[in-house]
Amino acid sequence: MFNPRFLIVSLGNQAPYYDCLHSAGHFALASLQRLLGPSQPPFTSERYGRKSCQASAAHTYTMLQSPTQMNISGPWVAKAWREMLENHQLNPSELSLVLVHDDLEEDLGRVRIRKWKASHRGHNGIKSVNANLKPSDFPGARWSRISIGIDRPETRDHMSVADYVLKKLTRHQKDVIETQAGPRVLACLRELQEEWEEDYEKK
């Protein structure tokens, strides 16, 4: 019987840079939780990957906001993934891992599914996760990414980009992400689940 379970992890920053564009994934996940309502409990502080983090755990979707700074998120994501498999006695093929992260190359609020091995486009959080989680170590695992567009600054030099992603969200930017990202992330998750079910039924 097909019984999909997802570990959905948003990458972002912690205080004092929580309310910044780099944390768009966190706000998208919060939007998704509110959209799902009673079936998905509110975010509360829980321990995953040996750290306290904001978590919303239901049977189908376990949503976690990475508690580390963006550039070093990989080790924690790897620990949380392994912990979920062990605690729930799941095979890698029974738990789909989805990273939700910001994307400088897309318009504000645009949400897209990206293959796990797609280019990191210079995203240091993705680089960190890739360095710590290898698909070859987990045969059968279904890993994907969902990107949240945040636009990009007019100049593309390293300092301008760094300043841009760490800048506090404007009210407009926050409204766009909070109102548009949740429904779009849910649509992406349903698409991933449909593909997973099709593959399951072929076996």
CB atoms within 10 A of CB 63: 24
Closest CA to 53 of 32, 67, 39, 33: 67
Burial class (CB in 10 A: 0-12, 13-18, 19+), 96: buried
Tokens 């799941």 map to which residue?
A: 90
What is the per-residue DSSP string for 15-65? TTSTTBGGGHHHHHHHHHHHHHGGGSPPPEEEEETTEEEEEEE-SSEEEEE
Per-residue tokens: 161: 């980009």
Q: How many residues does the chain have?
A: 203
Closest CA to 58 of 6, 1, 94: 6
Q: Which of 22, 26, 101, 123 is catalytic?
A: 22
Distance of alpha carbon 31 from alpha carbon 159, whole angstroms: 30
For this structure, is 22 an active site residue? yes
State the catalytic residues. 22
